[in-house]
Structure 1
Amino acid sequence: MLSDFSWDMTGYIPKHAVNPHGDGIIPYAAERIFQLEPEPPAVGNLNEYILSALQEKNLIYFSFFLHHYEPQLNKRIKDFLGVDGGDLYDTDRFIDIKLSCREQMLQKLMDYDLAKGAEYATYIFPFIRDAMLRFRMGEEKWSVSSLTNYKMVRSMAWLYHNTKDAVNEFSKKYNCDLALAEEYLKVVRGIRNQQPFYVTDENGEETGEDVALDDSWNYTDILWNGIQAEKVQRAFEKLNYREQTLLEKRLAICMTCGRVSSWKDRPTFEELAVMFEGSTASGAERAYRKAVDKLTELLVAEGAIHAVRLKQKSKIKRKKKIAAAIYEYQADCDGEWGEISLDFENGKAEVILLADWDTVKTNKFASRAIAYLLNCESEKLPKEIMVAFE
């Protein structure tokens, strides 16, 4: 077990500061987070570091390995992201993926056996790829829970886009019956109109355009899920023309055909204001937010999603920052309101009063509300908001 290992880095420090300028992580630093100073002791082969780590139960040798292995790991992550580096990728995300890979490498360290004939760098390669896939699986809300199924869905996606008979090809590849292949095809068709995702080719490599995830509630994540489509369509049809137009244009999705346009080309609120004469950009944004909330309520009524409504009741400030606050919350837009107390300085929260329909054991709605609020910057805490979840 790794708990038996020591990891004392006395005498060594990171060679490059992760955030040297205080205004974001620059790519140069992001690609050198494992570099050490002074230089680790030289060895004839990187595998000697791994063997020393296992023999001496000291992970400082694993850090020495990472120091030299980092350029290869950077290249594999860039290949996975499908970009050349520089400003073309989000450096925070790049580091998150790299740390996920390091975690996987550590977990597999105990299983490494030189007697099987492969050096550690070769042995670890497929596990690094799994770590990157698992990271993306966590980002994509449509993802299945199993990494194996996730890979098979991507394989079917490639066959669907590149062969004439994806079902038969999939059945041959995985030696499964046609019915199972049909099920995977249904999954692929159900997600094909969501934001673009990387499609796995025959060699396990990925192709396609990466799309940055928006940090707000994004209805395109659920609009064309095969199970929910009818509920969403019914809810959408209950909106008026202006509300429908605002949502379709701003979310870059056509509710008639399901086609998703480029997220980057969606109209600004200024452009939306021009479409509705007499409106301003701020007016168009308020109208859009109201349309989002109305659609949320309709989707809750259809049983497609859940939602928790929040209202700030009071707050305490210290040094211009909100130190504590009390919020009222309502479960699924109905029933009596509950109450939550939040201590932002210590990252703690307490449910004072359960809302109607919230569960006594799990506090599902209160937990969602607390998680959302504790992740907000204190200066940007909402006075009133609706948080939707599946």
Structure 2
Amino acid sequence: MLNGLWLGFFVVAALSGFGRWFVAGDAGAFSAMVESLFAMAKLSVEVMILLFGTLTLWLGFLRIAEKAGLVEALARFLAPLFRRLMPEVPAGHPALGLITLNFTANALGLDNAATPIGLKAMRALQELNPKPDTASNAQILFLVLNASSLTLLPVSIFMYRLQQGAPDPTLVFLPILIATSASTLTGFLSVAVMQRLRVWDPVVLAWLGGAALLLGGFMALLAGMSATALAALSSLLGNLVLFSLILLFLLFGALRRVPVYESFVEGAKEGFDVAKNLLPYLVAMLCAVGVLRASGALDVALDGLRYVADAAGWDTRFIDALPTALVKPFSGSAARAMLIELMKTAGVDSFPALLAATVQGSTETTFYVLAVYFGAVGIQRTRHAVGCALLADAAGVLASIGVCYWFFG
């Protein structure tokens, strides 16, 4: 799947470049695409530098948690649920605890913590994979849920809006929460259909129903808070949970007589080894995305969508937010840049800017997640992972459009 997708990016970019040359007489697309290749290669290295530090730090703390028995305890707690969702993973396997930690970090918007924990979980799942170059069912479910990225506290979106002068940075909080819930649910159900998971099992229904009740209660609680209190809670909770998690690892390790310093260094060395293997995958994916963007193919797609929406008599304000939606699966930094640019040009509280912010918070950077998570364990055949992840992305975008017209239309 990735082979065809990666080649397709270059083919579409080439067709777009030749179209601009022969139809519009503009040969500048080719220089832009070549320039983008080198720019994306440079960006890949810059991302790697950040990943080196982050992975080294968090895998060091995770090694302490593993030796203290925290990961194993989490795995035992979740065994009844994951025995049904991931039947090939043995009950109590460390991967289950790591998956739980990863989902928790994602939900709280702790991206820097979620990625290294997720990579550790993917490596643990790879140990159970009978075909090392092909994604297993458990790895696909884990990756799709990561790509859909259920986020309860989108702190980074609030920060972008605050930087651009929004009087109420948390205005998009509930729209993002609804959109990201739709994305995650769609991703889960699509994988469940492909893998024929027993979602009607009483244990699964109990877990999912309990999670839905907790989420609904959390939304109801936050909906009654003022914007100032909500912003303060978001910032406090995210940072408090992050540092509390580190403190829990250290103190629990010390109580269990784990040599915390030596364990941290041991895990940090593993983080360094994981990070250095990611660069080829990042270069491959980011360069393909950069060429596609520089070719003008995305602009052509937007013009076509605007024409269709106008012909159908629809409100076309959502079209201006679609660049963020179309680029988000490929490049988080590009989507972030497009969001900030739209805030500046259209106004931070304009409908397109509010919609773009909601889209930005509704899903993860799908192809980046694919490249990093599968690249870390050498997966080349992704099976239905890409299709299910993109379906979750589409659900997140459509939900964002619907909820923004509901809240702000």
TM-score, reference length from structure 1:
0.22
The structure with more helix, counted as a fraction of residues = 2
Larger Rg over CA atoms: 1
Structure with more relative contact order (C-alpha pairs < 8 Å, separation 6 or more)? 2
TM-score (normalised: structure 2): 0.21
